[in-house]
Structures are given as structure tokens and as C-alpha cells.
Amino acid sequence: MGEKITTVQYKGNLNEVYRVADKGVGNAYNEYVIRTKDDEPVELARIKFQKGARHEPVSEVGVIDSDLLEIVRDRLKLFQEGEFECTENAMALVHIETAIMWLNRRVEDRIKRDVIGTHKK
């Protein structure tokens, strides 16, 4: 199945997350599987990340980290507008938006230096 990752939330987890495939150029895995913790696990999702620089012909198109953060941001915002509003969700939302901001700053810097979509540092 791959290597099970150690999660920060270790109590009450419904699912397990596994790294699959090989590490990419940036030392990160490009594919993950989420499955139930049942005796007979069910695969719930397979997430494939961008593999390779954006504009290189050999790259494999996939999601990027900020895509997943934007999904979680959207869900937390909607929870905060409904009956599940709470301080914990509000704080998580602040930190997720901060993470998105920092990832976006990296993109803006790479655009400014004309290295976006390449393996140049």
C-alpha cells in the first residue's frame, strides 16, 4: 500500500493516509491514498500532485498543495456560517489562510524572477 504517514491528529482519526509511488524531484511524494481504518479498508481518495515543473513536456499534471488548502478553507468558512461555528474552526481558518498567503508569496516571487514552472531555485 505504501508508507503510512504520521499525522498530527492522532486521536479520533477515522482514516489513514499513505504515501505511494516514489519521491519527486523536490523530495516530496507525488501521490497519496486516504483509506478507512476498518478491518477491510476502503480507499476513499487518491490524490495525485503535480509531478515536474509546470511547463515541461514530461510533467504529469496534478493538484498542488494550495488546491487542498483552498478546499479545507472553503469547508471551514461554510462551517463558520452554519450551526458548527466554533473558536477552533475560526483559528484553523486563520492559519490555513496564512499558509495559502505564504505559498502565494512564493509563487509571486518565482513569477517576478521568471523561474515559475521550472526547476530553478
Domain ranges of the chain: 1-63, 65-121
- Grade residue 68 by pLDDT with cuts at 50, 70 and 90: very high
Rounded Cα distance, 97 and 116, in Å: 22
Tell me the per-residue pLDDT of 5-22, one tens digit each, with 9 for 90 and over.
988 887 788 899 999 988
E-state strands within 1-121 = 3-4, 15-23, 29-36, 43-48
Average pLDDT, rounded, for the chain: 91
Crossing angle for the helix pair 65-80 and 87-112, to the nearest 10 degrees:
150
Q: In sequence order, what are the residues at sequence separation of 6 or more whose Cβ sits closer than 8 angstroms to the Cβ of residue 8?
A: none
Examine the pLDDT at 55 and tell me if it is beyond 80.
Answer: no
- In angstroms, rounded to a whole number, what is the distance separating the alpha carbons of residues 74 and 65? 15
d(CA 17, CA 61): 21
